[in-house]
Structure 1
Amino acid sequence: MEGTDEERPLIHYLPPQEQCSEYTCDGTVDIDRRPAPKQSTGNWRACFFILGAEFTQCLCFSAVLKNLVRYLTNVLQESNVDAARSVSTWIGTCFFAPLIGAFMADTFWGRYRTVVTCLSVYTVGMLVLTISASLPLTLHDPYINSGDGIRRVVAYLGLYLIALGAGGIKPCISALGADQFDGGDPVERVTKGSFFNYYYFTNNVGTLLSTTVLVWVQDNVGWGVGFAAPMLLMGFSLAMFVAGRRVYRYRKLGGSPLTRVSQVVVAAARNHRMKLPDDSSLLHELPRLNDGDHYRVQHTTQFRFLDKAAIPSDDNSPWRLCTVSQVEELKMLLRIFPLWASLLLFFVVTAQMSSTLIEQSAAMDGRVGPFTVQPASLATFNVVSVLIWVPVYDAVLVPLARRVTGNARGLSHLQRIAVGLALSAVAMAYSAQVEARRRASSAPMSIMWQAPSYFVLGMAEVFTSIGMLEFFYEQSPESMKSLGTSLAHLAVATANYLNSGVLGVVAAATARGGAGGWIPEKLDEGHLDYFFWMMAALSVVNLLQFMYRSCHVHS
């Protein structure tokens, strides 16, 4: 509920030092749309609720993802290649939908309302998926050509409702958490970096429980129970997230980011005949106001053609005249794009943990002492690696690197991403060697030979995935933080669609003349090791071009 002017604190009349000690200085407000008090809102007290929602979302997501390829092959009777492609397409949708969620958050709903809405949709999706897993095995629909009839339709309906829910949660949870730390406070600004580390840490705690407890329940108790348990937790998480609404800090909406970007492009095109002034201070800019409704971005000389959108003229239409800050917002997005493209191959590599690596482990001996390790449970090593390396990175590597680089973060965002790209190439090379040895072995090879690959990929995620999230949040325009964060998820989406296409192309190109190809139904008749070697070689090339591009970008 919005208060009257008399009820609002007179923050704008206090000295700057007192303002920043009592209220946030980055324009965030409390639930009543008043300047956010530092002592009662934000910081880790608010992140408790936000990280709790992220934990449950990840628990549900992993409960579906980590064993989905087995659900599709064993229950819906899909082939190995079809199941791998279906999983990659679904994952791609889950990480493409954040573009829609980010647009809704930045333009209409705000981050909090978007998360609440999408948590509700997510819960319904889990309910529908649970129903699909509980349908009788003999239930078929003669009017549907697919072999599993109604079960298949209900299952995919639930999966894509989950994807739609994930679209609002993934870009907004991390951005809402980062908003809880005052960008105008040096101490809170540094703490924000730790938030991204522990955001990813919490994410992987949920994954760990899924890949151990819930995967076991799905394989040994039943798919219905294995999906119902995380569904109930999601409902509880929704209630807890709403309960924390009074301690959150909220960002004011800055208008449609797509409209703002489109206005710059159109205005620059319409003004293309106009000459740019030598003095950039002559370009159009709004005056700086005390209430934080307007902010300025420093002018840069890159992409100078776009500056023509800010040349003053007799026509003050927003589609003919834009501010310098508005132009710089588009420049920020353009500078991010080449580095964004470099991340696609990294996520094609990590997508193997949900497709080809699981198919490889299914062809190995899962017995470890008195226990039998399920193929999807190997992802536990990936999660454990993340849980180990996040605190090690935050408490050990950052202080050591800080002494060498002089950077407050230890490593810059781009340096951190590059380390992860190198590690992903190492993981693929190792997986190729394991597969070659498995095919050459006369006896079944232990599934535990896969563990190092998952562990190295976990290390790679700590460097690249977390560095990417923080980089896109920091480099995105102030009015487009959700959209900027969604770019990280869009990279995952595009990579999974790309992986689905790559698997199809490789399978078709290598199976000519009646041959089984690299990825046949029976892996012993194929060459999955060739596929892994191909991914390792592409990863090295990608690392080299990323290092070249990053030399021209300051993080």
Structure 2
Amino acid sequence: MSLLTLAVSMPSLKPHPCLDANAEHCKQTSRLQLAVFFTALYILALGTGGTKPNISTIGADQFDDFHPEEKAQKLSFFNWWMFSIFFGTLFATTTLVYIQENVGWSLGYGIPTVGLAIAILIFAAGTPFYRHKLPTGSPFIRMAKVIVATAWNWRQPLPYDPRQLHELQLEEYTKQGTFRIDSTPSLRFLNKAAIRTGSTHPWKLCSVTQVEETKQMLRMIPILICTFIPSTMLSQAQTLFIKQGRTLDRSVGSHFQIPPASLTAFVTISMLVSVIIYDRFFVKIMQRLTNNPRGITMLQRLGIGMILHILIMTIASLVERHRLHVARKNGLEKNEEQLPLTIFTLLPQFMLVGVADAFSEVAKIEFFYDQAPESMKSLGTSYSMTSLGIGNFLSSFLLSTVSHLTKKHGNGWINNNLNASHLDYYYGFLAVLSTINFFLFLLMSKMYVYKAEVSDSIKVLTDKLKASNLNEKSAMTRGRADEGRGPLPPFNLF
């Protein structure tokens, strides 16, 4: 962020302004200016990829899985983690966007730079108080050893009894502060990596726990693939939705124009409200119906988010059809002049994106963290970041491919002039794609087997929940029986 702030502040690093309508007459951006700007962006992307999975993992690791009360608190952690992320996003999409467009880019980038510096100081000051899980080596190397050992022992027959496979003594795991995992029947061919052949080479013989860790990471890949399309849908709110907003009437009163990028603030607001409602009300209602401490399972929550994405694209298609009708009615289909249609017409699709985020994005990061083995939590959390990254690339690929194909065979669906485009068709295509992906997700989730808990605290929570529900029902029954008996004696709280 410091380098990016310099790139927009120092005159020698800023591109020369161009006021000429003919861009060919403008002075070209120098190689130094491009190098500094893109280097800053790549460093920012690299830093984000390193911090996001690890910070959320560190936060979740502060709760003890063997303590029922902390386990219960951990079930809400990712709700409030995403709440804090989107609260910061709300500040960025309102205050910072306004500062960048009306005051200057130097201050607009300088404020988050100072904010990051303060965050680093706070994090460093709190380090002595955190619960630390010592690293046990690279998860990629551990998984690679299992794959290589499986290939090495491919011709060896698997023993009928999994207890004959290689496993370390329980004391070894106790010393390392890790957990031993029993053999499971899924992906059984990987068990060949733990066949005792007389060799003790780590690339030829792996423990059952190491094999099971690899299985857990591989079992999540089909679910990960199913999240690519929802991540693609999210990027529409940052791109095409905003471009639609540029064609509409953005005036509020007689002196204020809403920046189109600020519309994403409504995504953030609806997401913040949805998280509160979900955590404080929805979970408690569903706990009584399902006796599940989470209310609903993580995959069910993710599935609801996918259904909302289908609804969002359907509504976006209908709204765009109406926008194009207004453009044709006013004879503006040949140019991209502002339409006599308020920008708030786009509010439903923006706000529904926030509701979908409260389901899909929170469920996604919680699922990949929870289902990853204890020694690979950061790698598991990085799956959700990978989903977002691939979703953005996939969005660009779909946009360029559909634009090219439709222009080649007639009137293009996506042109520079949206009034002469058929963005409603493109949104309809995304709705169909989301529907197909949802049914694929249903198939994958039906086949998925949740990993066993590392403690019995989740069972304690379930038992407490069942007991609480039974007590409520008993109280209601007693209340009905006591009707007509007269007033009860005073109740002393203390």
Q: Is 1:127 the counterpart of 2:5 in the alignment?
A: yes
Q: Following TM superposition, by how much is the alpha carbon of 1:135 offset from its aligned partner in structure 2, in angstroms?
A: 4.6
Match of 2:202 among 318, 332, 335: 318
Q: 1:19-168 alignment to 2 at 5 Å?
A: 123-131=1-9, 135-138=13-16, 147-149=28-30, 150-168=32-50
Contact 2:7/2:14 (8 A) holds in 1: no
**Is it true that 1:251 corresponds to 2:129 in the alignment?**
no
Match of residue 459 from structure 1 = 355
Residue 136 (structure 1) shift: 4.9
Query: Could you tell me which amino acid in structure 2 is paired with residue 341 of structure 1?
Result: I
Q: 1:147 to 1:354 in 2, by over 3 A?
A: farther
Q: State the Cα deviation string for residues 84-112 of structure 1 (Å, max 9, x = none).
A: xxxxxxxxxxxxxxxxxxxxxxxxxxxxx
1:528 paired residue number: 423
Residue in structure 2 matched with residue 63 of structure 1 by the alignment = none
State the AA in 2 paired with 1:521: N
Q: Is the 8 A contact 2:93 2:261 kept in 1?
A: yes
Shift of 1:218: 0.9
1:427 and 1:433 mapped to 2: Cα distance? 10
Distance (whole Å) between structure 2 residues aligned to residue 132 and residue 535 of structure 1: 42
Residue 111 (structure 2) aligns with = 229
In the TM superposition, residue 294 of structure 1 has moved relative to its aligned partner by: 4.1
Counterpart AA for 1:307? N
Q: Secondary structure at the residue paired with 1:320? A: coil
Residue among 360, 385, 388 paired with 2:244: 360
Q: Is the 8 A contact 2:267 2:354 kept in 1?
A: yes
Q: Secondary structure at the residue paired with 1:171?
A: helix
Residue number in structure 2 paired with 1:308:
192
Give the CA deviation at 1:364: 1.2
2:444 is equivalent to residue 549 of structure 1: yes
**1:449 correspondence with 2:334:** no
Which residue in 1 is equivalent to 2:479?
A: none
Say which SS state the counterpart of residue 531 (structure 1) adopts: helix
Residue by residue, what CA displacement relative to the aligned partner does 1:412-435 show, whole Å, maximum 9, x if unpaired? 000000000000111111111111
Q: Give the whole-Å Cα distance in 2 for the aligned partners of 1:309 and 1:293.
A: 23
Is the radius of gyration larger for structure 1 or structure 2?
2
Q: Does 1:287 pair with 2:182?
A: no
Q: Distance in 2 between matches of 1:130 and 1:161?
A: 16
Which residue in 2 is equivalent to 1:111?
Answer: none
Q: Does residue 511 of structure 1 match 2:407?
A: yes
Inter-CA distance 146–395: structure 2 relative to 1 (3 Å threshold): farther
- The structure-2 alpha-carbon separation of the partners of 1:176 and 1:450, relative to structure 1 and needing over 3 Å to count, comes to same
- Alpha-carbon separation, structure 2, partners of 1:133 and 1:237: 29
Q: For residue 295 of structure 1, report the CA deviation from its aligned partner.
A: 1.9
Give the corresponding residue for 1:214.
96
Shift of 1:243: 1.0
Pick aligned residue for 1:197 from 62, 66, 79 = 79
Distance 1:317 1:206 in 2: 49
Amino acid at match of 2:371: Q
- Structure 2 CA distance, aligned partners of 1:133 and 1:188? 53
The CA deviation at 1:132 is: 6.8
The residue type paired with residue 509 of structure 1 is L
CA–CA distance in 2 between the matches of 1:134 and 1:192? 50
Letter in 2 for 1:485: T
The runs of 5 or more residues in structure 1 that have no matched partner are 1-122
Letter in 1 for 2:377: K
* CA-atom RMSD in angstroms: 1.9
Q: Read off the aligned partner of 1:416 and give its amino acid letter.
A: R
Partners of 1:197 and 1:390 within 8 A in 2: yes
The equivalent residue for 2:234 is: 350
Task: Confirm whether residue 431 of structure 1 aligns to residue 316 of structure 2.
Answer: yes
1:21 is matched with none
Q: Where does residue 32 of structure 1 map in the other structure?
A: none
CA deviations 1:184-231 (Å, max 9, x no partner) are: 212111211211111000001101111111111111112222111111
Q: Distance in 2 between matches of 1:224 and 1:516?
A: 42
Q: Shift of the alpha carbon at 1:257?
A: 0.8
* Partner SS, residue 272 of structure 1: coil
Give yes or no for the alignment of 1:404 onto 2:282. no
The question of whether the paired residues in 2 share the 8 Å contact of 1:271 and 1:308 is answered with: yes
Which residue of structure 2 aligns with residue 341 of structure 1? 225
1:33 corresponds to which residue?
Answer: none
SS at match of 2:312: helix
* Contact 2:250 2:258 (C-alpha < 8 Å) held by counterparts: yes
Indicate how the Cα distance of structure 1 residues 548 and 485 shifts in structure 2: closer, same or farther if over 3 A, else same: same
SS of structure 2 residue aligned to 1:551: helix
Kept in 2, the 8 Å contact 1:132–1:155? The answer is: no
Q: Which residue of 2 aligns with 1:176?
A: 58
Post-superposition offset of 1:477: 1.4
The question of whether the paired residues in 2 share the 8 Å contact of 1:397 and 1:410 is answered with yes
* Compared CA separation, residues 496 and 132, structure 1 to 2 (3 A): farther
Match of 1:484 among 380, 384, 387: 380
| TM-score normalised by the chain length of structure 1 | 0.74
Secondary structure (helix, strand or coil) at the match of 1:291 reads helix
CA distance in 2, matches of 1:418, 1:406: 19
Runs of 5+ consecutive residues of structure 2 not aligned to the other structure: 19-25, 331-338, 451-494
Q: Residue 368 of structure 1: CA displacement? A: 2.6
CA distance in 2: counterparts of 1:502 and 1:317, whole angstroms: 47
Q: Decide which of 249, 260, 263 is 1:375's aligned counterpart.
A: 260
Q: What is the Cα deviation at residue 439 of structure 1? A: 1.1
**Which residue of the partner structure matches residue 305 of structure 2?**
420
Instruction: Identify the match of residue 70 of structure 2 among 172, 188, 191.
Output: 188
Shift of 1:137: 4.6
CA contact (8 A) 1:342 1:546 kept: yes
Deviation (angstroms), 1:133: 8.8
Q: How far apart in 2 are the matches of 1:207 and 1:300?
A: 42
Deviations 1:231-269 (A, max 9, x none): 111111111111111111111111111111111111111
Cα distance in 2, alignment partners of residues 132 and 457 from structure 1: 38
Q: In structure 1, what is the Cα distance between the partners aligned to 2:11 and 2:104? A: 8
1:496-554: CA deviations, max 9, x gaps?
111111111112111126x6611211111111111111111111111111112111224
Contact 2:191 2:208 in 1 (8 A): yes
Structure 2 CA distance for aligned equivalents of residues 518 and 504 of structure 1: 11
In 2, the alpha carbon distance for the partners of 1:291 and 1:314 equals 25
How far apart in 2 are the matches of 1:478 and 1:133? 50
